[in-house]
Amino acid sequence: MDAKKRERYERIAENLTRLVGGRGNIQGVAHCATRLRIVLKNNDLADMKAIEEVDLAKGVFVAGDQLQIIFGAGLVNDVYEVFADYNNMKNMSLSDLKTEANQKMNPLQRAIKALSDVFIDIMPGILAAALLTGLSGVLGNLDFVQGNETLYGINTLINIASGAIFGFLPLAVAYSACKRFGGRPILGIVMGCIMLSSSLADAYAAAQGTVEVTTLHILGLPVELVGFQGGIIVALLMGMITAKLDIFFEKKVPEVIRLLVSPLLTTLVGAVLLFVVVGPVGRGLASGITSGLVWMTQNFGALGYALFSGVQQLIVITGLHHIFGAIEAQLLVDTGRNFLNPLMSVAMTAQGGAVLGYLALNRKDAKTRELCIPSFISVLFGITEPALFGVNVRFKFPLIGGCIGGAVGGLIVYLTNLAALGFGTTVVPGIALADPANNGYLWYIVAHLAALACGFLLTVVIGSAWKGNGAPAAQTGKEKGAEPKAAEVESEKAEETRSETGAAETFGAYADGSLIPLEEVNDPTFAQKILGDGVAILPSGGTVYAPADGTVQSIFDTKHAVCLETDLGNSILIHIGIDTVKLGGKHFTAHVKDGDRVKQGDILVEFDLDAVKAEGYDTVIPMIFPELGETAVLEKQGRKTVRAGEPVAALASK
């Protein structure tokens, strides 16, 4: 990471830390592909509106009791690196963060999150099976493949591979669930093997009545010896129960016999529960879910499809969408087709169209372009959170346009009988999962283009009539009809005063010591004036003073840097030392806080000069003017020894 980027990210880290309630309010921090995730002790202390306006942030929301700030793929890694370093929370894994967050979730939230985690762990296998199934279906319809001995043989092997993965999916689910709930994964595999044992009648054959089923009687209860092929719900329940049994017996069995007895009891009790209780209950639940979905398609038809795809992204906002993975898996093993996948996919695409619609309405605004373009790209790969929380939910009317566009896409899915042969990926990559029957690939493209176009057009139409013409707050500066804040009035007056008088502003020395050119600072960010022009002082004491009258815009929690705005509207950054952010505030004492008014010569910060040097840090103090315009010139004093208050620089109009 180059110095210019790091300095920018340090400012982001400082702002975020302050806006989430300070370092003391942060329990943990980690990141995923697009979002910086923070667990706070008290979410109410976070200023959500202000966080939305943080540099590079594309949106913010709370989900799973985590404050999640969207930065986008790639960028979030660098922001996390600096933010974690700034808050002394490096090396915290996403798993560790989830543990912190889970402690604050309610039981329903924890259950849904756990369900999601189970399928995330086995998703590569599920995707492989789905893609192989689609490939086999395409090749099987080509005459030259059927007529070529080698190609036919390869296609047969592909078909065997895909069928084997789906055939043993309950075993994989039992393994992943046992692992997720704290049990030894091998015991989950053992339970999965019992579910699919060859000693049991095949579940599909038993359902068709082509095989004889043996019935046992245990405590007067009839127990049918039927396998659990396709029993995803049963596998989920058994994985969880096996984990709980394993933990229980590991605690209760004496250590001297634990190695032998604990897994024995876990397997024995689990097997009995599987056939007597969990199996029948799980089968009934799975049958109910599948029957309910099929009933919906048969009785609600086009309306049911349109309604589901219209509201699906609203479900994403609540976090309840994680449960769909289990439903899709059960639907696949019961019917061989997954109609939910394309419905969810067109719902996502429509929200992407809404983002483009909002961009079209505000295309001249640089912040909007920076926000919308990466958000739309994320949608293309099935990630809608940046679009939802960065744009559509935030500005409301794009969400409405996106939901209506999703409903239109759902209607086309119904009319074309579109379905998927797997689950786990959507939008552009999702085309590989589409059932190729009845021109499935073509209709997949048509449905998504229609959803995109409707989401775009409806957002433009609704936004054109929306209050403020859909313009972002950053573009208008103030809400229509709102009274300007006092600070805004003062800033406007200062700007008017400076433009009318053209007066120069003089800045006094902000520390005792030796004034040196900024180019001689031993840091390329300052020396190359990446942040702006200025001067620097090699301090002889540990006190930093205000160089002019003004207002404290922000002071880092580490107290090593202060941002000021003078009464004439000039911005100043005073940075005490090089890389001293790593001290985390050690050896520094702040005498001001954000929003304080200061006079020239007032003490801003005191620091232990000798202690900072002893820690190995350069103590030079640059003063930077980050917003010098083309109409202003910075006049600097030459190298000399200065005392606080003596003139060191002046800013005047050209």
pLDDT classification of 654: cutoffs 50, 70, 90: low
Provide the pLDDT confidence category of residue 480 given band limits of 50, 70 and 90: very low
DSSP 21-85: T-GGGEEEEEE-SSEEEEEES-GGGS-HHHHHTSTT--EEEEETTEEEEE--TTHHHHHHHHHHH
pLDDT for residue 475 is more than 50:
no
Please give the single-letter amino acid code of residue 88: N
* Residue 111, token pair as written in the block: 């259950």
Burial class (CB in 10 A: 0-12, 13-18, 19+), 556: buried
More confident: 60 or 406: 406
| Residue closest to 579 by CA, chosen among 85, 19, 47, 54 | 85
Q: Within its chain, how far is the Cα of 42 from the centroid?
A: 20
- Asked whether 372 and 355 are in contact (CB, 8 A), the reply is yes
Q: Which of 193, 575, 587, 591 is catalytic?
A: 575
* φ, ψ of residue 608 in degrees (nearest 5): -85, 100
Catalytic residue among 32, 193, 321, 591: 32
pLDDT of residue 436: 87
Q: Mean of the pLDDT values across residues 316-323?
A: 56
Q: Is the pLDDT of residue 190 over 90?
A: yes
Confidence at residue 498, expressed as pLDDT on a 0 to 100 scale: 42
| pLDDT band per the 50, 70, 90 thresholds, residue 502 | very low
| Active-site annotation holds for 193 | no
Dihedral of the CA atoms 339, 344, 349, 354 (nearest 10)?
A: 130
Structure tokens at 529: 């004036």
* Closest to 582 in 3D by CA, of 553, 607, 615: 615
Task: Work out the percent of the chain whose per-residue pLDDT is above 90.
Answer: 28
What's the pLDDT band for 358 if we cut at 50, 70, 90? Answer: very high
- Does residue 596 carry a pLDDT above 80? yes
Answer with the residue of higher pLDDT: 300 or 484: 300
Phi, psi (degrees; rounded to nearest 5) at 331:
-65, -40
Element (H, E) at 653: strand 647-653
Mean pLDDT of 630-636: 74
What tens digit of pLDDT does each residue of 147-175 get?
888 988 998 998 888 778 777 888 988 99
CB-CB contact of 178 with 187 (8 Å): yes
Mean pLDDT of 377-402: 79
Amino acid at 139: L
Give the pLDDT confidence score for residue 195 in this predicted structure.
92
Cα(135)–Cα(599) distance, integer angstroms: 73
Query: Residue 388 gets which letter from DSSP?
Result: I
178/195 Cα distance (integer angstroms): 14
* The pLDDT of residue 266: 95
Least confident of 186-195, 370-379, 534-543, 547-556: 370-379
Q: Check: CB of residue 415 under 8 Å from CB of residue 396.
A: no
Span of 7-21, 54-68, 122-136, 415-429 with lowest mean pLDDT = 122-136
pLDDT at 652: 75
**Full 3-state SS string of 313-343:** HHHHHHCHHHHHHHHHHHHHHHHCCECHHHH
293 confidence band (pLDDT: 50, 70, 90)? low
Question: Cα(273)–Cα(228) distance, rounded to whole angstroms?
Answer: 14
Average per-residue pLDDT in the chain?
A: 81
Q: What does the alpha-carbon distance between residue 398 and residue 463 come to, in Å, rounded to a whole number? A: 7
Q: 610 burial class (0-12, 13-18, 19+ CB within 10 angstroms)?
A: exposed
Predicted local confidence at residue 109, as pLDDT: 58
Query: Is the pLDDT reported for residue 631 higher than 70?
Result: no
CB atoms within 10 A of CB 221: 11
**pLDDT at residue 452, rounded to an integer:** 95
What per-residue confidence (pLDDT) applies to 363? 82
**CB neighbour list of residue 447: distance below 8 Å, 6 or more residues apart:** 342, 346, 409, 412, 413, 416, 418
3-state secondary structure of 89: coil
pLDDT at 139: 81
- Asked whether residue 507 carries a pLDDT value surpassing 60, the answer given is yes
| 198 has a pLDDT exceeding 60 | yes
Q: From 87, 39, 41, 79, select the one nearest 57 (Cα to Cα).
A: 79
215: which strand partners? Answer: 224
- Does pLDDT of 92 surpass 80? no
Name residues whose C-beta falls within 8 Å of residue 183's C-beta, 6 or more positions apart in sequence.
239, 242, 243, 244, 245, 246, 247, 266
* Residue 442 scores a pLDDT above 80: yes
Range from 77-86, 101-110, 417-426 carrying the lowest mean pLDDT: 101-110
Q: Which pLDDT score, from 0 to 100, does residue 412 have? A: 94
238 in Cβ contact with 173 (< 8 Å): no
What pLDDT shows up at residue 555? 86
32 included as an active-site residue:
yes
* Between 387 and 268, the higher pLDDT residue: 268
Among 310, 312, 410, 392, smallest CA distance to 356 is for: 392
Q: Is the pLDDT of residue 416 over 90?
A: yes
pLDDT-wise least confident of 91-100, 389-398, 624-633: 91-100
Helix-, strand-, coil-residue percentages of the chain, each rounded to 5: 60, 15, 25
The answer to whether the beta carbons of residues 353 and 456 sit under 8 Å apart is: yes
Is pLDDT of 20 > 50?
A: yes
Q: How much is the pLDDT for 123?
A: 66
Helix crossing, 324-335 with 340-361: angle to 10°?
Answer: 140
Please give the Cα distance from 241 to 195 (Å, whole number).
Answer: 14
Three-class HEC string of 199-241: CCECHHHHHHCCCCCCEEEECCEEEECECCCCCHHHHHHHHHH
Q: How far is CA 599 from CA 94, 101, 115, 274, 567, in A?
A: 46, 44, 58, 76, 10
Angle between helices 107-140 and 232-252 (to 10 degrees): 130
Residue 569, pLDDT score: 78
Q: What is the pLDDT of residue 322?
A: 54
Question: What's the pLDDT tens digit per position in 214-253?
Answer: 888 888 888 889 888 877 788 889 999 999 999 999 999 9
Q: What percent of the chain has pLDDT over 70?
A: 80
| Predicted pLDDT of residue 100 | 54
Contacts of 415 (CB under 8 A, 6+ apart): 302
Q: Could you give the domains of the chain? A: 3-104 (3.30.1360.60), 109-292 (no CATH), 300-473 (no CATH), 501-653 (2.70.70.10)
Residues counted in the chain: 654
Helix (H) or strand (E) holding 568: none
**Is residue 501 packed enough to be buried (19+ CB in 10 Å), middle (13-18) or exposed (0-12)?**
exposed
